[in-house]
Structure 1
Amino acid sequence: MRVDKQKLREIIRELKKWKAHATILLSLYVPPGRPVSDVLNMLRQELSITDNIKLKKTKSAVQRALSMAIDRLSKVPKIPDKGLVLFAGENPDTGESIIVMLIPPEEVSVYYYRTDKYFHTEFLEEMVSESNIIGLLLIERDAATIGMLKGNRLKIVEELEDYIPGKHEKGGQSQRRYDRIIEQMVEEFYKRVGEHANRVFLPLYEQGRLKGILVGGPAYAKYDFLEKDYLDYRLKKIVLPELIDVGYQGEAGLREMILKAGDLLKEQEFADLLKYIEEFKLHLAKDDGLAVYGEDEVRNALEMGMVAVLIISEEREDVEKWLELAKKGGAKALVLSSDVPESEWFNKTFNGLAGILRARIYS
């Protein structure tokens, strides 16, 4: 089965649900050019030594996984041009089994086989990780939040704090000395924030995945921070031109900064999600007939070409179907990540599916 990145995300999510008490879940990655016969011989050899496994239940589960893998792989005449990935396993307690074989959207670069207590999806996760990342930095004199915007996901990487005393009116030389001490403490904090930000962002920049850095915070702290060389010179070059006034730290502050950034983040799906989730809630509150939900209602509106924006939870099993319907109906489709705080409310209240109409539909 050849899969695209959206389908691969769904498969990874399902595979991650499988956990075992013993090393019985089989993961296999085969790069293009590797003869199928070589892989089958390796699996058969692994099967032949399973008799050495002492626990009967574990032995049976491993043998079952290997047998499923051998059976499925023996039907493949040649490893495809992008390679092949296979997962097989069995739950010894329930007897439930799983076998997944797929051709990924990007070329498999490793030859890898392992049985473990979980499926090794990390090589697939690299394929679906966003290559268009925006770094996020909230900075004030005594606190900072470092985050990343990756497609439809917001991630907080680090939160930093320090104690910086406020100004006191001592007068004379004591006041000037006190002020210098405070400024030195602020400078040391900015230096620490810069070191952490460089550690997070530079590897992404060198990989060509970091497209920009959005900086925000209250008052003048963000300007003071960027004036000096706390950030690596390469990162300073990709700081987005507008600095955003934000009154909070943490996730609330990052969300506020993203919403205020507007066109600076026009290519970022998460920014669109926040904007359209807020718009959807506004239409609900106004009861103006422009919010649509319920599978039948959404489908009918799509078929009429009346949906401007379709929001689909990534937790639905039929994401691909709705993406296709949105495409046919000329709707902008956004997949709602579970990382977005509203996702739980959206899933429970609207079953993970809703839309914003171009105009009210009168029946």
Structure 2
Amino acid sequence: MKKWSAPATVLLSLYIPPGRPVSDVVNMLRQEASIAQNIKLKRTRDAVESAITSAIDRLVTINKVPETGLVMFCGQNFDTNEFKCYMFSPPEKVTVYFYRTDKQFHTEFLEDMVETSDVYGLLIVERDQGTIGLLRGSRIEVLDEEEGYVPGKHMMGGQSQRRIDRIIEELYHDFLKSFGEKVNSYFLPYLESGKLKGILLGGPGYAKKDFYDSDYLDYRLKKLILLPLVDIGYQGEAGLREMVMKSKDLLKNQKYVEIEDLIEELKYHMAKDDGLVVYGIEEVNKALSMGAVDKMIVYDEGRPELEKIAQEAEKYGTKVYIVGEEVPEAEWVRKTFGGLVGKLRYRV
């Protein structure tokens, strides 16, 4: 699909995240079909209407968006006059709601899903809680959260105390074993497909070391654990983010870490007011034309003018990061800078 192109904006790309009502998307497409009737060139108008109609015809056949979302590409290849319309559920969860008719299909969101060079497993474990996650490109995803019941120490004394201690130890062992089995079920498919490059293991106390020292994990996964183990104070997504940033020396050239570091760098230069932060379409374009923009963050919300700047920036050797709501501080970029901000090599 990436190779298809058209002389006009007639190729439809649609990404629907899970939870979005199908009826809302169909209504949006019907509105777009009404707008398309105003296109002056008949060939272009017919091609856009055909793409939108084909998309609607497929969407009305389903009741609910699948767990990983939906992706749709519809349009005519003007070189061969071939018309195709594909609707499918992708291998990873769609995180953006995106619609566009353009001169090419927007496959970039799918390309992030099939990257095989930077997938890391993330594990946080304590006495009776655990989080399983995945770091892929700029996204941290919580795969599962496990909770057990392991009571604290009792002070009864004598044989009763020893019996209760044994029961607590058994419950603790059972929880770690159950957690390990769940980790194996999630991570082994990534390992066997060659995508899993490493595993971060952290937690607030001694449970992470007990988990690492024992045989709760498949031996192949255990070999991928990156040392040292990480002291983490939280479970869930907040804990996974903390663990990744504490382990950034182990994750060099990893997109999520690079984006978070750049955001911290931007905040530092803003606080110093040293003139090394640039934002606004006109100001960024001017700095780009001078070759002054070192790195740039673009918040992806389907704005063609921002996409054009991102494409132009790469011609000047600028490192461009396209971010969405999956990056924790992306909303800060959108609200503070209108979705576009760069760090300069020198003041202009």
Normalised by the length of structure 1, the TM-score is 0.67
Matches within 5 A, 1:290-305: 290-305=276-291
Offset, 1:136 = 0.6
Matches within 5 A, 1:280-291: 280-291=266-277
Contact 2:74–2:86, Cα closer than 8 Å, also in 1: no
Distance of 2:266 and 2:295 partners within structure 1: 9
Contact 1:310–1:332, Cα closer than 8 Å, also in 2: yes
Offset, 1:337 = 2.4
Matches within 5 A, 1:21-100: 72=76, 75-77=78-80, 85-86=84-85
Matches within 5 A, 1:156-175: 156-175=142-161
Aligned match of 1:46: none
Matches within 5 A, 1:1-363: 2=2, 11-13=13-15, 19-20=25-26, 72=76, 75-77=78-80, 85-86=84-85, 125=110, 128-131=113-116, 132-318=118-304, 320-361=307-348
Offset, 1:105 = 7.3
Relative distance call for 1:99 and 1:279 in structure 2 (3 A) is closer
**Structure 2 gaps, min length 5:** 5-11, 31-52, 59-72, 88-98
Aligned match of 2:34: none
Relative distance call for 1:312 and 1:235 in structure 2 (3 A) is same
Relative distance call for 1:12 and 1:235 in structure 2 (3 A) is farther
SS at match of 2:258: helix
- Cα deviations by residue, 1:265-301 (Å, 9 ceiling, x for unpaired): 1132112112222222233334333322111222222
SS at match of 1:252: helix
Q: CA RMSD in A?
A: 3.9
Distance of 2:74 and 2:214 partners within structure 1: 60
SS at match of 1:19: helix
Offset, 1:199 = 1.1
Relative distance call for 1:290 and 1:176 in structure 2 (3 A) is farther
Distance of 1:223 and 1:299 partners within structure 2: 51
SS at match of 1:11: strand
Q: How many residues align?
A: 288
Contact 1:316–1:352, Cα closer than 8 Å, also in 2: no
Distance of 1:70 and 1:335 partners within structure 2: 24
SS at match of 2:247: helix
Larger Rg: 1
- Cα deviations by residue, 1:208-266 (Å, 9 ceiling, x for unpaired): 11111111111322111011111111111111222111111111111111111122111
Distance of 1:179 and 1:2 partners within structure 2: 61
Question: Alignment identity in percent?
Answer: 46
Relative distance call for 1:159 and 1:323 in structure 2 (3 A) is same
Distance of 2:225 and 2:149 partners within structure 1: 27
Relative distance call for 1:209 and 1:284 in structure 2 (3 A) is same
Query: What letter matches 1:355 in structure 2?
Result: G
Relative distance call for 1:178 and 1:136 in structure 2 (3 A) is same
Distance of 1:311 and 1:317 partners within structure 2: 14
Distance of 1:186 and 1:335 partners within structure 2: 43
Query: What letter matches 1:77 in structure 2?
Result: T
Relative distance call for 1:208 and 1:99 in structure 2 (3 A) is same
Relative distance call for 1:280 and 1:127 in structure 2 (3 A) is closer
- Cα deviations by residue, 1:296-321 (Å, 9 ceiling, x for unpaired): 22222223333232111122434543
Of stretches 132-141 and 326-335 in structure 1, the one that deviates more from structure 2 is: 326-335
Distance of 1:19 and 1:242 partners within structure 2: 47
Contact 1:244–1:261, Cα closer than 8 Å, also in 2: yes
Normalised by the length of structure 2, the TM-score is 0.70
Offset, 1:324 = 3.2
